Structure 1
């Protein structure tokens, strides 16, 4: 139990339904959908689309999503891959001929075909109770009327605004400046797009005037995208991968998602006695950093489009984890692995919803970097993701850019299952931090006995690039000790990610937490 003398928040407990996400208006929208007779899928899609207006630098209809779903009355978990493919005319050789060694992060080159909207339409048709018109109505209203900018959103907008192109600045800035706290952000062009989707389904987005606007904008910026690329966009059902951590089953998306990285991290950490180290000790932060270095280095050589990923079984092998754990010296930091050629993003949203029938949805939705590619469609203001920057240009690499191929994706929704029963849908945002965040949240709960809110609140650390980022919640003594072991310790300007989770308790109640690093909350009824 937390110390009620100290600032903080308690976990939320409810009996009927629950949402946890990064903006309070989205959480309220999801619960309103549940109370109006919708199910968890209706609520999750409705709130996720709204988050594209509430947090426009983080996500939007020009992006991708991944979803894990537990249907009502079942403990089976299904996965929907709503990540986009490279255009049919994409060419790594063409970019190399221009002297590029990596895919750019801005402009038309990194824009893969946005596929979240296809996923949302298909999930609504297959699993929803309400119509598209009903679940898109809140986002349409807020896009027309405006949403007051929240404090964390304002912080992120100011940092990301310089990445916007001329069309992006016209649609996403106010009087040429990043929107400030309390200013109303409106997106009337997106409201019109959503009205067309509400009436026509996916064709309202992927064909007709909306698609023409997107393709014309991309081609004017030098892109090779075509109307056929958009018309052919499709999301796919896939089978989750799973691994066990001390009796708890972790379920993640298969490649091209990198949930396997979290699994490898946990397999490495299982070789150590974490509880004996202490929650905020230098030992715990050190061993986690070393496990992350080893797991992420493996990821960079393995994870790619599912048709090009051939060594996943090796990555998830306990023998592999044991061999990697043997490389960890508790007193000396390993060198940082070679930098990945793929760009690693910082921004996304996560939402989880559980309804009264115990359908559970774990959904993550992103445009990759802050404001994506920086490029917005001229007429409707659809902001394009830059997910193609996740490809490599290294010839022959499994993740090399190629026509119709999906890049390595960093966004990973998670679920835990125990004794065959789904225990917790969850997600941890924060770009490359996400697999590390999954491992940290799970070990906070399982090894250190924290409740779901305390587990999310707890200070974080992450070996990222050439530094070890250690949040200010750690003591100076721990930072000094980590530095003495060879880590290049910094306190990050921006806290490490965000996170939300809902626990389906054995007594039938729901228990949830939401990250104070964001503006959102958990809300139930």
Structure 2
């Protein structure tokens, strides 16, 4: 018998000793991952090889002809697709997804937070904007608020940081204009999940645990945490990955909203409960504050980047920063700089530093301050700022431009068979929010008020009844006057930086919708003027954080150029996208999801 036939015929256990003797000595045992552990880190091991597309992409783009949706939680995306299949509009699907995420992903969103949207209206042939950002309570005077500040800012948690929730009003305004299904139908999936329960996803379990530890630690400064414990620690501990979880209080709240519409929340039984709760804990929000809130349709800001139209929400957000960064980078040969090269990242980060100086100096509620938006968004100003950047070294003294004298988040996107596309973002701001949960309502209030300034003369200075500066921004891009990308990147000050990287990856580096999001990211922290989210210890040039996928040669070169390179800390945002493609006279949707989260994109 030939040797090969013999070895194939004998039992594996008998052949193993002889085979092992012929091999080199075994290396030291590798670490073993236990399911449920937060992380299994093997820097020497990389993802498998893909036969098509970008080598670093985590999955393929999802294609469909009739509709598409992407969110940070697979069950929410499924709910959105089912709404579309029932004949609902992309707006109907987005509302259903958001309601589901309020239960499934309370670490990022909920009806206690604010909402913004950009949408392509096929009937009007243009991009519309919706801003539903709540105001500070009228009873919280400047003097009272200032007495609660620490290091010049309101605390991250507690009643002083709470502003009126804008989400439900935003849903209502969107549905009134673009809804097809009955309002109550949109809440059926979320109610069923909250009552019946679902296993908690890995990322969400991790962040619930972190948030509850912060809320319940001694000295957290929160007026009341028993309600939060009841909802998210019903058995004395936060749920672990895979644990079944329910929120019957939130289900009851959703039923009230489903039956009573917007008014149930702002001028009805929910508003009454909220007022009683804040009176009980010594807070300031009243039913009158809630009843006064209105969502606002707004004209988006817009610029072009190499012929591509890019839209952003203005109002009290940082949407303008994306446009400023792109306007500056248009003056450089980004394609020639090279994908993931030191020069490419250097130019992007320098553009960010310039834009964020203006962000810290000028951005605010335009109802209370004359924000020079036209000047900041102009190509002329961008050319002036671009001349400050040097390709071989850092700018040492970065300051905001001199204006003329005139003066933790979830993202999801949907598209439908009629061509309506909606880019929607919704947040409680930092983590789960303020730590406060009104009696029996099952959701947490946002802590967005922390981003108010108390610097005299600053346009974002605190005032009762004023909207605070907002970090949450949806993204949208058009091509040749038609909708192209409905997309977003979540995560505080990372959002304009992430949106810019997505646009560059698509236009300058030719990546598809999925690879553009999976590509390693950079995140720059630090500004000479803080908006409340910076730690303040980043130094004069800030800290440039790079994901592990950035080439080592790029890291070395950036450090040699003077950048302070920080560790990868997970603060690189999370992305969803629906792209419209015209193929052979037919509309095709391409959907992509974020590999840094639990989410998924689907199409049909």
Distance apart, 1:96 and its partner CA: 2.5
* Residue of structure 2 equivalent to 1:251: 311
Cα distance between partner residues in 2 of 1:25 and 1:98: 40
> Helix, strand or coil: the match of 1:463?
strand
> Helix, strand or coil: the match of 2:568?
coil
Deviates most, 159-168 or 374-383? 159-168
Cα distance between partner residues in 2 of 1:27 and 1:393: 40
Distance 1:7 1:102, change over 3 A: closer
* Residue of structure 1 equivalent to 2:166: 115
Cα distance between partner residues in 2 of 1:413 and 1:222: 35
Deviates most, 205-214 or 443-452? 205-214
Verify: 1:381 aligned to 2:442, yes or no. yes
Conserved 8 A contact 1:445-1:455: yes
Higher relative CO (Cα under 8 Å, sequence separation at least 6) belongs to 1
> Helix, strand or coil: the match of 2:477?
strand
* Residue of structure 1 equivalent to 2:577: 501
Cα distance between partner residues in 2 of 1:234 and 1:250: 27
Deviates most, 86-95 or 280-289? 86-95
Cα distance between partner residues in 2 of 1:496 and 1:449: 21
* Residue of structure 1 equivalent to 2:128: 78
Deviations 1:30-72 (A, max 9, x none): 0000101111110010011101111111100111100112223
Map of 1:219-238 to 2, 5 A cutoff?
219-238=279-298
- Please list every run of 5 or more consecutive structure 2 residues that lacks an aligned counterpart in the other structure: 1-48, 216-224, 401-407, 527-537
Verify: 1:46 aligned to 2:96, yes or no. yes
Map of 1:143-222 to 2, 5 A cutoff?
143-164=194-215, 165-222=225-282
Deviations 1:456-497 (A, max 9, x none): 110000111221110011123222221222211122221511
Conserved 8 A contact 2:274-2:286: no
> Helix, strand or coil: the match of 1:59?
coil
Distance apart, 1:394 and its partner CA: 1.4
* Residue of structure 1 equivalent to 2:463: 402
* Residue of structure 2 equivalent to 1:423: 484
* Residue of structure 1 equivalent to 2:113: 63
Conserved 8 A contact 2:92-2:180: yes
Conserved 8 A contact 2:70-2:576: yes
> Helix, strand or coil: the match of 1:350?
strand
Cα distance between partner residues in 1 of 2:80 and 2:442: 25
Verify: 1:481 aligned to 2:563, yes or no. no
* Residue of structure 1 equivalent to 2:302: 242
CA RMSD for the aligned pairs?
1.8
Deviates most, 26-35 or 83-92? 83-92
Cα distance between partner residues in 2 of 1:194 and 1:266: 40
Cα distance between partner residues in 2 of 1:364 and 1:246: 26
Distance apart, 1:338 and its partner CA: 8.6
Distance apart, 1:143 and its partner CA: 1.0
Distance apart, 1:247 and its partner CA: 0.6
> Helix, strand or coil: the match of 2:393?
coil
Conserved 8 A contact 1:293-1:336: no
Choose the corresponding residue for 1:322, options 361, 370, 383: 383
Cα distance between partner residues in 2 of 1:401 and 1:337: 26
Higher Cα radius of gyration: 2
Cα distance between partner residues in 2 of 1:285 and 1:372: 32
Distance 1:124 1:223, change over 3 A: same
> Helix, strand or coil: the match of 1:506?
strand
Cα distance between partner residues in 2 of 1:498 and 1:229: 32
> Helix, strand or coil: the match of 2:426?
strand
TM-score by length of 2: 0.83
> Helix, strand or coil: the match of 1:296?
helix
Distance apart, 1:277 and its partner CA: 1.3
Cα distance between partner residues in 1 of 2:192 and 2:115: 23
Cα distance between partner residues in 1 of 2:149 and 2:314: 33
Distance apart, 1:337 and its partner CA: 6.1
Verify: 1:523 aligned to 2:523, yes or no. no
Deviations 1:269-297 (A, max 9, x none): 11111111111111111111111111011
Distance apart, 1:174 and its partner CA: 4.0
Distance apart, 1:99 and its partner CA: 5.9
Verify: 1:513 aligned to 2:592, yes or no. yes
The number of equivalent residue pairs is 518
Deviates most, 210-219 or 351-360? 210-219
* Residue of structure 1 equivalent to 2:342: 282
Conserved 8 A contact 1:90-1:401: no
Cα distance between partner residues in 2 of 1:284 and 1:47: 36
Conserved 8 A contact 1:500-1:513: yes
Deviations 1:139-176 (A, max 9, x none): 11111111211112122222222233332222122423
- Please list every run of 5 or more consecutive structure 1 residues that lacks an aligned counterpart in the other structure: 340-346
